[in-house]
Amino acid sequence: QVRLVESGGGLVQAGDSLRLSCAASGHTFSDLMMAWFRQLPGKEREFVGWINRSGSSTYYADSLKGRFTVSRDNAKNTAYLQMNSLKSEDTAVYYCAASPSSFGIRASIYDYWGQGTQVTVSS
């Protein structure tokens, strides 16, 4: 059973940067495709970005490309989401997710999820 634990959320001001971490256990980390999602207040969970097993490929939601960066350190069993130039519209609960088999932007394809970490951006 894969366990994912996010950390690094908090309250920041617009324009600030924040890095979220997702620590994985219970599976060979390099076998997992990792992704980040977020859930804005009153909205359904939406795709942020994914990174392949080796870290050689990434993909982002168009609206976040250039501000958000997904990375991973397989030696540390950890994925990251670097968020720059944060806006009040980025306020959400952020989740990491993992799949041993699938790529995609739909939340339903991911088998494992973290508990989420709250990011609040004040304007």
pLDDT in tens, the chain (123 residues): 899 999 999 999 999 999 999 999 988 999 999 999 999 999 999 999 999 999 999 999 999 989 999 999 999 999 999 999 999 999 999 999 999 988 899 999 999 999 999 999 998
Which residues, 6+ apart, have CB-to-CB distance to 22 below 8 Å?
4, 5, 6, 7, 34, 36, 78, 79, 80, 81, 96, 114
What pLDDT is stored for residue 4 in this prediction? 97
What pLDDT is stored for residue 1 in this prediction? 84
Which residues, 6+ apart, have CB-to-CB distance to 57 below 8 Å?
51
What pLDDT is stored for residue 116 in this prediction? 97
Give how far Cα 1 sits from Cα of 28, 34, 37, 77, 87, Å.
11, 15, 20, 15, 35
Length of the chain: 123
At residue 84, the 3 state secondary structure works out as coil
